[in-house]
């Protein structure tokens, strides 16, 4: 099973993410996010940042999770490669993410993300698999 | 930052970015009233402070071009436009600050929609009544973001003028680098419109749209009273853009609005596929257009074929009488953030 795939959406970019549990789903969503911006393999995990978020429901938590990376990139230029999720449920996530600040000599910028949106947002469990669809405003 | 959010372009003038003459030719004089910085989060301020004076990515651009064709010589003369004259077109907005304001208020509006019993077809369309606490708070924050956007464009315009001064070794005044008009896009504004013979106060939301007020409207600069408000409709980077003016018919039919661009035809993904294996910058260079782009992916996503032909789009506006064509601008240099 693939971890994520990009889907067509006029004007924006959609991502479908898959995981065997919520933890894997959020990890793969983080990885997809990085892949939109740059080539993840170019990122050295020299910095660790704790991320602790709350939301009303799981879909909103996913939006918050990705928007946290939009914020950290916009304000500190941080790009992440490793997403360690310590605990997660429908309404909260505790994680440590690892990466480094953007370096124009090493990190090719594919595009930047303005925000993760609630448009057509979906997080569902299909049998043994968790699946999410999220549209990003570029 | 508080002064930027509350006073808009006045801040840029106080700090030497532009002239009082510029301010006359900006929608709302470059300051949307009643901005409330207390409704703008620290996260939004943090995102915004690093980005003031930057273009941003996506469809944002700075384009140096020239007037390729004049359709309405009288209106063009009032704007100071003539055939073959050099032009600069800047398209950007409130950057990360505006996006953070949006993100912050989406959470608030999702709760508000539930509270007010609003049935949503899509959660991204969450909302609250304009006069509710949430509605008023949002309008205060949005006004601050709009003022940030005015300042952002004014700063970029100022640096563009400085660049022209350096290259041509002449003062901007002598080069006559005058602002034609700065107009908001993707904005909601409280306006009075006549509906079924009665004046009504409305919240006009121009999403993917821009304002296009008619001749004689009190909210447009005196200079444009006889012709109507200049309306700028950018096309793709390989073809052309248009300058139009608002009309009385458009005011009645669309609450004084026009489209703010050509509109996409291909998704970003389709555009990238279409651009695959092609040297887009070289193709444009062969057409006499120099493109400077921060990323090759953006260049691929923004290829001319990704957009509708803005000529067709603008002709619809013109034929329907919603706005009137004044001039066509062709690009020479395009900078994409």
B295–A117 CB contact, under 8 Å: no
Q: Which fold has domain A4-137?
A: Archease, Possible Chaperone; Chain: A; domain 1 (3.55.10)
Of chain B, the percentage scoring pLDDT greater than 70 comes to 100
- B178-201 pLDDT, tens per residue? 999 999 999 999 999 999 999 999
Q: Which of A6, A110, A120 sits opposite B297 (nearest CB)?
A: A110
- A87-113 pLDDT, tens per residue? 999 999 999 999 999 998 999 888 889
Structure-block tokens of residue B293: 């782009």
- B93-124 pLDDT, tens per residue? 999 999 999 999 999 999 999 999 999 999 99
- Distance, in angstroms, between B303 CA and closest chain A CA? 13
Residues of chain B with Cβ-Cβ distance to A77 below 8 Å are none
Domains of chain B: 1-52+93-177 (no CATH), 57-91+183-337 (3.90.1860.10)
Domains of chain A, by residue range, sit at: 4-137
CA-CA distance, A57 to B65, in Å (whole number)?
49
Predicted pLDDT of residue B307? 92
Nearest CA in chain A to B109: A118
User: Which of B49, B236, B269 to mutate: most A Cβ within 10 Å?
Assistant: B269
Residues of chain A with Cβ-Cβ distance to B45 below 8 Å are none
Alpha helix (H) residue ranges in B8-129: 9-14, 20-24, 42-49, 73-79, 95-115
- Distance, in angstroms, between B304 CA and closest chain A CA? 14
Check whether B269 has a pLDDT greater than 90.
Answer: no
Predicted pLDDT of residue B326? 98
Pairing of strands B290-293, B323-336: parallel
- Whether chain B has a CB inside 8 Å of the CB on A35: the answer is no
> Could you confirm whether B260 is annotated as catalytic?
yes
- Distance, in angstroms, between A138 CA and closest chain B CA? 6
* CA-based nearest residue to A58, from A82, A25, A105, A103: A25
The pTM assigned to this predicted structure is 0.94
- Whether chain B has a CB inside 8 Å of the CB on A47: the answer is no
- CB of A47 within 8 A of CB of A100? yes
- Residue B298's pLDDT band, with cuts at 50, 70 and 90, is confident
Signed CA dihedral, B155, B243, B188, A59: sign only: negative
């Amino acid at each position: 099973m693939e971890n994520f795939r990009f889907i067509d959406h006029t004007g924006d970019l959609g991502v479908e993410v898959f995981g065997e549990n919520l933890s894997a789903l959020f990890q793969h969503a983080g990885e997809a996010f990085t892949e939109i911006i740059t080539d993840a393999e170019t990122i050295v995990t020299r910095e660790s940042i704790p991320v602790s978020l709350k939301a009303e429901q799981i879909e909103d938590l996913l939006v918050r999770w990705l928007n946290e990376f939009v914020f950290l990139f916009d304000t500190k230029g941080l790009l992440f490669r490793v997403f360690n999720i310590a605990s997660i449920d429908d309404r909260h996530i505790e994680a440590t993410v690892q990466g480094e600040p953007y370096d124009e000599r090493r990190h090719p910028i594919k595009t930047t993300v303005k925000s993760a949106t609630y448009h057509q947002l979906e997080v569902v469990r299909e049998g043994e698999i968790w699946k999410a669809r999220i549209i990003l405003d570029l | 930052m508080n002064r930027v959010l509350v006073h808009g372009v006045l801040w840029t003038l106080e700090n030497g970015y532009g002239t009082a003459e510029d301010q006359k030719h900006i929608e709302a004089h470059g300051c949307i009233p009643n901005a409330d910085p207390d409704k703008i989060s620290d996260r939004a301020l943090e995102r915004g402070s690093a980005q003031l004076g930057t273009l941003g990515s996506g469809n944002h651009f700075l384009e140096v071009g020239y007037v390729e064709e004049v359709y309405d010589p009288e209106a063009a003369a009032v704007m100071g436009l003539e055939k073959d004259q050099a032009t600069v077109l800047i398209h950007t907005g409130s950057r990360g600050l505006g996006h953070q304001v949006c993100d912050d208020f989406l959470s608030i509006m999702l709760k508000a929609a539930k509270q007010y019993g609003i049935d949503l077809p899509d959660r991204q369309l969450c909302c609250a009544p304009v006069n509710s606490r949430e509605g008023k708070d949002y309008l205060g924050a949005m006004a601050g973001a709009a003022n940030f956007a005015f300042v952002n464009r004014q700063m970029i315009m100022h640096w563009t003028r400085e660049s022209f001064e350096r290259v041509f070794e002449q003062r901007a005044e002598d080069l006559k680098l005058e602002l034609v008009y700065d107009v908001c896009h993707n904005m909601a504004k409280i306006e009075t419109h006549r509906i079924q013979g009665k004046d009504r106060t409305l919240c006009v939301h121009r999403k993917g749209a821009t304002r296009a007020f008619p001749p004689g409207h009190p909210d447009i600069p005196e200079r444009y009273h006889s012709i109507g408000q200049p309306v700028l409709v950018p096309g793709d980077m390989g073809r052309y853009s248009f300058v139009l003016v608002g009309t009385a018919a458009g005011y009645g039919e669309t609450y004084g609005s026009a489209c703010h661009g050509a509109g996409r035809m291909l998704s970003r993904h389709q555009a990238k596929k279409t651009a695959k294996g092609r040297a887009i910058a070289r193709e444009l260079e062969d057409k006499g257009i120099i493109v400077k782009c921060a990323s090759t992916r953006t260049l691929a996503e923004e290829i001319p074929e990704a957009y509708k032909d803005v000529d067709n789009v603008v002709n619809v506006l013109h034929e329907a009488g919603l706005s009137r064509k004044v001039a066509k601008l062709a690009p020479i240099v395009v900078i994409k953030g």
